[in-house]
Amino acid sequence: MAASCISCPVQSPSSPLQLTSKFCSSRFFSVSIPNCSFVFATATLRHRSSLRCPPRRPSFTVAALNKLSDTELITVFDGEGILPSDSGVYAVYDSTDDLQFVGITRNLAASVAAHRKSVPNLCFSVKVGVVQNPDKTALTEAWKSWLQEHIEATGKVPPGNQPGNSVWVKKTPKKKSDLRLTPGRHVELNIPLEELIDKLVKQSKVVAFIKGSRNAPLCGFSQRVVAILESQGIEYESVDVLDEEYNYGLRETLKTYSNWPTFPQIFVNGELVGGCDILTSMYEKGQLSDLFK
């Protein structure tokens, strides 16, 4: 699936530093500075638990995004917490208050919680800013403003935003080929198609029955499911229900097997999770880490 990009040059009036960013549908930013480049991935990590922060609740809803230097630094704890689940920009600091990473996300609390779990020694405190009307452009501009402010103040790119970073950026696994359930529509099956489906979903961790291939989904819902699974780095099997040569009769047989009338259909550990709407809802609520553990 091709990634579309938007490039936005930004230059500080007091500095010759020019910063160019690209937003890609693959959920990665690419940022270039003369003689230097670094990358940023939108936060796609999800959490199992919420956060617990100091008793006083900061005000997160703002009419205009505050500067990074004017935003309150909040200590991150494990357990219950008060970070908002809104879309926005966030900056992660270690125990010595050194900035480690600047990111954007559709769920601030979930992303910070995921970082706290994966790199607790680097995620000691955070600054968060809720972005109003959080479309791609608004989130990009918020991220650029915080990142550029830090670079102008320190002359350094945060470690997590540097090229080759493998701590904060979750790499998308290499795409696998779609499965074929039969050797061809004109070959007589020794095993009923329903048994082949049952064997596949029970022997595989995650199976997505989609319209089209994982490389070229043929409907928006299937495209969304593939994007979510790959953004989470999930290893999964995919089956094209429209392939009438090698998956002949699959669409109707699968509807009966799952008792689910539409596609795509996602199975995890042999159980039907649902379709695009259910997976999207779980993704937005930060529930996928529990589902795929």
Q: Which two tokens stand for residue 240?
A: 């094209």
pLDDT the model gives residue 81: 57
Determine the pLDDT at residue 8.
Answer: 43
The string of pLDDT tens digits covering residues 16-43 is: 444 444 444 334 444 444 444 444 444 4
**What's the confidence (pLDDT) of residue 27?**
42
> What is the Cα–Cα distance from 4 to 12, expressed in whole angstroms?
26
Q: List helix spans (H) across 155-246.
A: 193-203, 220-231
Residue 30 has a pLDDT of 44
Q: Which residues of 119-152 are buried (b: 16+ CB within 10 A; e: fewer)?
A: beebbbbbbbbbbeebeeebbbbbbbbbbbbbbe
Q: From edge to edge, which strands make up the β-sheet containing 237-240?
A: 237-240, 206-210, 265-268, 271-274
Task: List, for residues 46-62, the tens digit of each pLDDT value.
Answer: 444 444 444 444 444 44
How far apart (Å, rounded) are the C-alpha atoms in residues 274 and 206? 12
Per-residue pLDDT, 37 = 43
| pLDDT value of position 171 | 60
CA distances from 94 to 97, 98, 189, 203 (A): 5, 6, 59, 42
pLDDT band at 5 (very low <50, low <70, confident <90, very high): very low
CB under 8 Å, gap of 24 or more: what pairs does 116-120 form? Answer: 116/51, 116/76, 116/78, 117/47, 117/48, 117/49, 118/45, 119/167, 119/168
The C-alpha R_g of the chain, in whole angstroms, comes to 22
Do the beta carbons of residue 194 and residue 254 sit within 8 Å?
no
For tokens 């991150």, name the residue.
76
| Collapsed DSSP state (helix, strand, coil) of residue 69 | helix
pTM of the model: 0.45
Q: Which residues pair with 274 in a beta bridge?
A: 266
CA distance linking residue 78 with residue 109, whole number of Å: 12
Q: What is the mean pLDDT of residues 180-194?
A: 92
In the structure encoding, which two tokens stand for residue 233, read together? Answer: 């780095």
pLDDT tens digits along 170-186: 665 566 899 999 999 98
Average pLDDT over residues 122-136: 90
* Per-residue pLDDT, 214: 92
Q: Is residue 235 scored above 60 in pLDDT?
A: yes
Nearest CA-CA partner of 266 in 241, 242, 243: 241
